[in-house]
Structure 1
Amino acid sequence: MALVKVLVSNLFAGAGFQKLDAGQVYDVEESVAEKWLAQGKAEKATEKKGEKLTFEVVTPSAPVSADSSALQTRLNDALEQVKQLQDAAANKEKEHADALALETKRADEAEVALAAAIKKDK
Structure 2
Amino acid sequence: MALVKVLVSNLFAGAGFQKLEAGQVYDVDDSVAEKWLAQGKAEKATEKKGEKLTFEVATPSAPVSTDTSVLQSKLDDALEQLKTAQDAVEAKDKEHADALEQLKTAHATELAAANDRADKAEAALTAATKKDK
TM over 0.5: yes
Task: Give the drift of 1:83.
Answer: 4.4
State, as a whole percentage, how many aligned pairs show the same letter: 66
The one-character-per-residue Cα deviations of 1:39-96 (angstroms, maximum 9, x if unpaired) are 1211212222212112222233532226x84983586244544444344334333332
Amino acid at match of 2:93: E
RMSD of aligned Cα (Å): 2.7
Count residues with an aligned counterpart.
121
How has the CA–CA distance of structure 1 residues 114 and 30 changed in structure 2, closer, same or farther, with 3 Å as cutoff? same
Q: For structure 2, which runs of at least 5 residues remain unmatched after alignment?
A: 123-133
Larger Rg: 2
The one-character-per-residue Cα deviations of 1:3-41 (angstroms, maximum 9, x if unpaired) are 112222222222222222222221111111111111121
Aligned runs of 1:1-122 on 2, under 5 Å? 1-60=1-60, 62-65=62-65, 69=68, 72=71, 76=75, 77-122=77-122
Amino acid at match of 2:60: P
Distance 1:39 1:106 in 2: 90
Distance 2:96 2:7 in 1: 75
